[in-house]
């Protein structure tokens, strides 16, 4: 059994957390500290300290009787992972169809705090691979077409808070760097239902994006078409919006009657 001294190695602490979570997952009923320590091989004080940290984060719940069970935060994270996997699988066929119709890169992006993260992409030899559109890459909300969709969803007050919090940093000479400029841009997005990135993330790359909603009507992602600036065609906006709507319907979204 391990000694109660504080683990200095962060990896060791994570391993001990996983041991505790695994044991809790094996038991349908709440588990007392003594049993958790025994089954994980941890000293009781070590287990108690780690469980305390996980309890404060919602990963573990502790009852008044001093027994532990898995926390609701794990359910929240599991649901989030499930929704993202489902999103990628559902979107792929429509993304491939849009790619075939245009010959350009099609991207699927989700929000992560003040950034957009690209979780899927289709491309071909015709479309130059740019850094920002590699799967897993991130970019600020105010510079990306997809990010602007989420800022519109936030509303005026949260946009102001975003601008103050981030300072609206520029990525290129055409990036929006003022609140007034951002508000004017978001008004266009609100009126047209699509958003544009005009060389704002990377010089020489332009994007058009439309929103994807789930069965509850929540905006969960953006579908964007990215092209070299010399091939940019704003008339493709309706096609991109139709494709995003197709994915939304497949996720169970029912648009309100107009």
Minimum mean pLDDT range among 18-32, 77-91, 223-237 = 77-91
Mean pLDDT of the chain: 90
What confidence tier does 137 reach under pLDDT thresholds 50, 70, 90?
confident
DSSP the chain: ---SSPP--HHHHHHHHHHHHHHHHH-SS-EEHHHHHHHHT--HHHHHHHHHHHHHTTSEEE-TTSEEEE-HHHHHHHHHHHHHHHHHHHHHHHHHHHHHHH-SEEEEEEEETTEEEEEEEE--TTSPP-GGGSTT-EEEGGGSHHHHHHHHHH-HHHHHHHHHHH----SSTTS--SHHHHHHHHHHHHHHS-EEEESSSSTTEEEEEEEEE-TTS-EEEEEEEEEEGGG--GGGHHHHHHHHHHHHHHTT--PPP-
pTM of the model as a whole: 0.70
Q: What is the pLDDT of residues 158-193, one digit of tens each?
A: 999 999 999 999 999 999 999 999 999 999 999 999
Residue 11 above 90 pLDDT? Answer: no
């Amino acid at each position: 059994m391990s000694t109660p001294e504080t683990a200095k190695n962060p990896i060791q602490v994570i391993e001990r957390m996983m041991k505790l979570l695994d044991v809790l997952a094996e038991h349908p009923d709440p588990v007392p500290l003594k049993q958790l320590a025994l089954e994980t091989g941890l000293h009781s004080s070590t287990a108690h300290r780690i469980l305390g940290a996980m309890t404060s984060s919602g990963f573990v719940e502790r009852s008044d009787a001093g027994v532990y069970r898995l926390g609701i935060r794990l359910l929240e994270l599991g649901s989030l992972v499930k929704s993202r996997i489902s999103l990628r699988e559902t979107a792929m066929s429509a993304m491939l169809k849009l790619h075939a119709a245009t010959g350009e890169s099609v991207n699927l992006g989700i929000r992560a705090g003040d950034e957009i993260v690209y979780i899927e992409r289709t491309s071909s030899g015709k479309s130059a691979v740019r850094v920002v559109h590699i799967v897993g890459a991130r970019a600020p909300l105010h510079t990306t077409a997809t990010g602007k969709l989420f800022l519109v969803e936030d509303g005026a007050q949260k946009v102001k808070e975003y601008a103050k919090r981030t300072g609206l940093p520029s990525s290129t000479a055409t990036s929006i760097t003022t609140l007034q400029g951002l508000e004017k841009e978001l008004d266009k997005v609100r009126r047209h239902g699509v958003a544009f990135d005009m060389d704002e993330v990377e010089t020489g790359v332009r994007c058009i994006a439309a929103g994807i909603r789930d069965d509850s009507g929540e905006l969960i992602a953006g579908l964007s078409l990215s092209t070299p600036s010399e091939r940019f065609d704003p008339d493709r906006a309706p096609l991109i919006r139709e494709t995003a709507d197709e994915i939304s319907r497949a996720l169970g979204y029912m648009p309100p009657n107009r």
